[in-house]
Structure 1
Amino acid sequence: MSSEQIIVQQPEERANQLILLFHGVGDNPISMGEIGKFFAVSFPQAQVISVGSPDICDFGRGFQWFSVQGVTEQNRQPRVDAAMPAFVQIVRDWQQKTGVTPEHTTLVGFSQGTIMALESTKVEEHLASRIVAFSGRFSSLPEIPITAATVVHFIHGEQDPVINPFQSKSAAERLKSLGCDCTLDLQAGMGHGLDSHMINTAIAHLKNYQPKSHQH
């Protein structure tokens, strides 16, 4: 089953970077497309796409990357792993369509979309150079370093009742302990959602943060 994908911005000339946004469970690409507009304004030469999951949500409405019915710490990982090939293929397809390499690709996730983006670093040597991890987590913390070519920006609401901000804290600590490149920003007073400050924090990191792999 194919997924709905919303082109938020397609530059007139060839895109110099690719920004893909991935929604949370029970949501759709329209809402993340609204978030994508902020990135489009800041990066006018970027192709910005809000990607919908190919799977209809098995409760309520919207779509899901994997089912959360009866999800536990034990069974989450197999569900993520089963969904990962389709997720990776979507990213590779857009890289091929736009001619943009992984070095110039950014994955922006929210909640379950963040889980998929983070977990992709375990199975793909180099899918993207940046991951903006809004309000998410690893399904299970990595045991070995992710590629040095990928920088992760964790951004999480301090009052998130759905995915505890401890998940982003512990993920950032684990990546740093493995020698990986990442940042962590916690938004005071924010629950499970996004506000303009969180989005602007992400954009500032994408514009200004110098990856350790580029420093000599």
Structure 2
Amino acid sequence: MTTQPGDAIPVTVPAPHDLITSWPEQPQQLFLLFHGAGQKPSDMLDMAQRLSRQFPQGVVACVAAPHAYDEGEGFQWYSHRGESDENRPERLLPARLELSATVRAWQRHTGLGPERTALLCFAQSATVALEAVAAEQDLAARLFAVAGRFDRLPEQMHQHTCIHWMHGKDDEVMPYQAAVEAGYRLRDLDADFSVDVFPETGHCVTEEMEQRIFHLLANHVPLRLWRQAMAEAGQPDTPPPSSLH
């Protein structure tokens, strides 16, 4: 059996603070929602309930970050206290491994693999998840990252995960330029991605963002499948519409 990053990290599924909005008898999809630092799974509950209605064959769960927030109530993947560009990588690595272990534990528990898994992440969780899918090509088929960032822009990126990045242009916690810079890098790396910057939007998940997420879930064709279909049809390798908005 292949050893995966984070396999030695114990994960309980579901954990005591996790919220599950649907778990059908024969699930076909796995949707895991991860909140921001200082938040709780209940902060993602509205979107989870909407996902449950839209995808009745899916397991939908709001997952708690594993550590108590050190500035008050809620949970976190790592501490922002004293965070700097120099020490962020050493905080992100264990957080990335914990998130990967959490996702894989849910996959084992539900019997649903990476190809049936979508991650919906906000803020700190989005940052950790971006690092995770950049490092592991078999973690999830889709990542919806809202108000996150790469610690350092990746040097390479696979096409096994569709990255859908959303950011508010008025975000004062995580400036939107992080999304734009990452978009240009991902384009240069021939990654499967989209970047949407929302005007007059701060550090939050809005109704407009949720609408975009549901549109992409229903309509986005993974780049590798697009190219495979074009090749089988004898068509030139014409790229899909622009991924930067």
| TM-score bin, normalised by smaller chain | over 0.9
Q: Using the alignment, how far apart are the partners of 2:147 and 2:178 within structure 1? A: 9
Q: 2:43 matched to which residue of 1?
A: 31
TM-score by length of 2: 0.84
1:87 aligns with 2:123: no
Q: 1:184 matched to which residue of 2?
A: 195
Pairwise CA distance, 1:18: 0.3
Match of 2:81 among 49, 54, 69: 69
Task: After TM superposition, list the pairs within 5 Å mapping 1:135-154 onto structure 2.
Answer: 135-145=147-157, 147-154=158-165
Pairwise CA distance, 1:137: 1.0
Q: 1:17 matched to which residue of 2?
A: 29
Pairwise CA distance, 1:206: 1.1
Q: Is the 8 A contact 2:96 2:129 kept in 1?
A: no
Q: Using the alignment, how far apart are the partners of 2:27 and 2:181 within structure 1? A: 35
Q: Is the 8 A contact 1:152 1:182 kept in 2?
A: yes
Q: Which has the larger radius of gyration?
A: 2
Three-state SS of the structure 2 residue aligned to 1:184 is strand
Q: Using the alignment, how far apart are the partners of 1:117 and 1:187 within structure 2? A: 21
Letter in 2 for 1:5: D
Letter in 1 for 2:198: Q
Q: 1:168 matched to which residue of 2?
A: 179
1:60 aligns with 2:72: yes
Pairwise CA distance, 1:34: 2.3
Three-state SS of the structure 2 residue aligned to 1:161 is coil
Match of 1:43 among 44, 47, 55: 55
Pairwise CA distance, 1:73: 1.6
Letter in 1 for 2:65: S
Q: Which runs of 5+ in 1 are unaligned?
A: none
Q: Is the 8 A contact 1:114 1:134 kept in 2?
A: yes
Q: Is the 8 A contact 2:119 2:142 kept in 1?
A: yes
* Count of matched residue pairs: 214
Pairwise CA distance, 1:125: 2.4
Pairwise CA distance, 1:198: 0.5
1:155 aligns with 2:166: yes
TM-score by length of 1: 0.95
Q: Is the 8 A contact 2:119 2:140 kept in 1?
A: yes
Measured against aligned partners, the alpha-carbon deviations of 1:151-186 in whole angstroms (never above 9, x if no partner) come to: 100111111110011111111211111110101111
Q: Is the 8 A contact 1:115 1:136 kept in 2?
A: yes
1:207 aligns with 2:218: yes
Q: Using the alignment, how far apart are the partners of 1:21 and 1:130 within structure 2? A: 12
C-alpha RMSD of matched pairs (Å): 1.3
Task: After TM superposition, list the pairs within 5 Å mapping 1:124-139 onto structure 2.
Answer: 124-139=136-151
Letter in 2 for 1:10: W
Q: Using the alignment, how far apart are the partners of 1:138 and 1:40 within structure 2? A: 30
Q: Using the alignment, how far apart are the partners of 1:51 and 1:120 within structure 2? A: 16
Q: Is the 8 A contact 2:137 2:161 kept in 1?
A: no
Measured against aligned partners, the alpha-carbon deviations of 1:64-104 in whole angstroms (never above 9, x if no partner) come to: 11110011122112101022222111101111111111001
Measured against aligned partners, the alpha-carbon deviations of 1:104-138 in whole angstroms (never above 9, x if no partner) come to: 10011000010111110233221000000111111
Q: Is the 8 A contact 1:14 1:98 kept in 2?
A: no
Measured against aligned partners, the alpha-carbon deviations of 1:6-57 in whole angstroms (never above 9, x if no partner) come to: 112112x311110101110111111112221122222111111111011001
Q: Using the alignment, how far apart are the partners of 1:80 and 1:201 within structure 2? A: 28
Q: Is the 8 A contact 2:169 2:176 kept in 1?
A: yes
